[in-house]
Amino acid sequence: MAKVGMKVNGKQVSGDVEDRTLLVDFIRDTLALTGTHIGCDTSQCGACTIHLNGRAVKSCTMLAAQAEGADILTIEGLAQGDKLHPVQQAFTECHALQCGFCTPGMIMASVGLLKDTPKPTDDEIYHGLEGNLCRCTGYINIVKAVKRASQLMAG
C-alpha cells in the first residue's frame, strides 16, 4: 500500500492505494472523478487522457504513485465555473461528439495539442490525435472543432 498525494483540479488530495493502482483508477475510484474514462487495456485509445504538470498524459499508463506531488487537471477542471473552455465550446458548436465516451480524453488531448501548436495544420491535428480513438464521429467534426478552437483561442 502507498499513500499518494497530489493536486487535482486545484485541490490538494491524497489517498491510500495498492502499489499497483493506476493513476486513472485513483482519479476515478478514490477521487470519484468519473469524467476520465477507461476504454482499453493497452494505452491506445486515449479515453483516459488528463494533464499532468501541464502535459497531456494517458493516465492508464502510469501508476498513481508516479504522480506523487504532481499538478493534475481532469476534464472536470477544464471549464471555469459556467464558462466552457474554448475547446469544449468548439466541440459543442461543431457536433464533435455523439456517444460522448471518447470526448473527455479527446478534449484533453486537443487542449494539449493546441498548447504545443496553437495554429495546427490538418496533418498536425491528425498526428496530434493519433492516440485518441473515436468510433462514432469518424473524426471529421473533431478535426473541425480543433480548428475552430484554435480560432477562438487566437482571440
Partner 1 sequence: MTGAGRYTADFDLPGQLYGVFLRADRAHAMMRSVDASAARKHPGVVSVVTGADVANAGFKFPGTMVSYPGRGGQQIKVPPRPTLARDRVRFVGEEIALIVANSKLAAQDAAELIVVDYEDLPAVAHPEDAVKPGAVQLYPDIADNICFDYEYGNEAATQEAFAKAHHVTRLKVESQRICGNPMEPRAALVAYDAAADRYDVYTSNQGPTMLKPGLAFVSGVAPEKIRIVPLDVGGGFGLRSGSFPEHVVLMYAAKALGKPIKWVGSRFENFVTDPHGRAIVIEGELAMDRDGRFIAIRTNWLADQGAYLTAPGPLINTANGMLTLSGVYNIPVGYGRHRLMLTNTTPTGPYRGAGRPDMAYICERLVDQAALDMKMDRTEIRRRNFIPKAAFPFKNAAGAVYDSGDIDALINHALKASNWAGFEARRKHSAAEGKYRGIGCATFIEPAGGGAAPKDQVAVRFEEGDKIALMAPITPHGQGHETAFPEIVARVLGVDPERIELRGVDPQHSIPLMGNGVVGSRTAMHYGSALKIAADDIVKKGHELAARKLEAAPEDIEFANGRYTIKGTGRGIGLFDLAREHRPGASHPLNANGEWALSRSFPSGAHVAEVEIDPSTGVIDIIQYTAVDDCGDIVNHTIVEGQLHGSVLQGVGQVLGEIGVYDRSNGQFLTGTFMDYYMPRAGLVRNLQGHELNVRSPTNPLGLKGVGEAGTTGSLPTVVNAIVDALKPLGIQHIDMPCTPARVWEAIQAARKTQLIS
DSSP 63: B
Give the interface segment with partner 1, choosing from 51-59, 63-71, 127-135, 147-155 (CB under 8 A): 127-135
- Indicate which single residue of 13, 15, 44, 117 sits in contact with partner 1 (rule: CB under 8 A): 44
Tell me if 47 contacts partner 1 by CB under 8 A.
yes
CB of 101 to partner 1, least distance (A): 3
* Residue 86 near residue 23 (C-beta atoms within 8 A): no
Tell me if 24 contacts partner 1 by CB under 8 A.
no
Tell me if 125 contacts partner 1 by CB under 8 A.
yes
Grid coordinates in use for 145?
A: 472543432
CB of 84 to partner 1, least distance (A): 7
Would the CA dihedral through 59, 61, 32, 49 be positive or negative? positive
Q: What is the C-alpha separation between 134 and 131, in angstroms, rounded?
A: 10
Grid coordinates in use for 93?
A: 458548436
Q: Binding marks (x or -) toward partner 1, 84..113, rule CB under 8 A?
A: x---x--xx--x-xxxxxxxx--x------
Neighbours of 130 (CB within 10 A): 11
Tell me if 52 contacts partner 1 by CB under 8 A.
no
Return the ∠ at Cα 54 (arms to 3 and 9), rounded to 5°: 55
CA dihedral of residues 114, 118, 123, 129 (deg, nearest 10)? 0
Tell me if 64 contacts partner 1 by CB under 8 A.
no
Tell me if 142 contacts partner 1 by CB under 8 A.
yes
Tell me if 3 contacts partner 1 by CB under 8 A.
no
Length of the chain: 155
Grid coordinates in use for 63?
A: 501508476
Kindly list the residues in this chain that would bind partner 1 in the complex (CB under 8 A): 18, 20, 28, 32-42, 44-45, 47, 74-76, 78-79, 84, 88, 91-92, 95, 97-104, 107, 122-123, 125-127, 129-130, 132-143
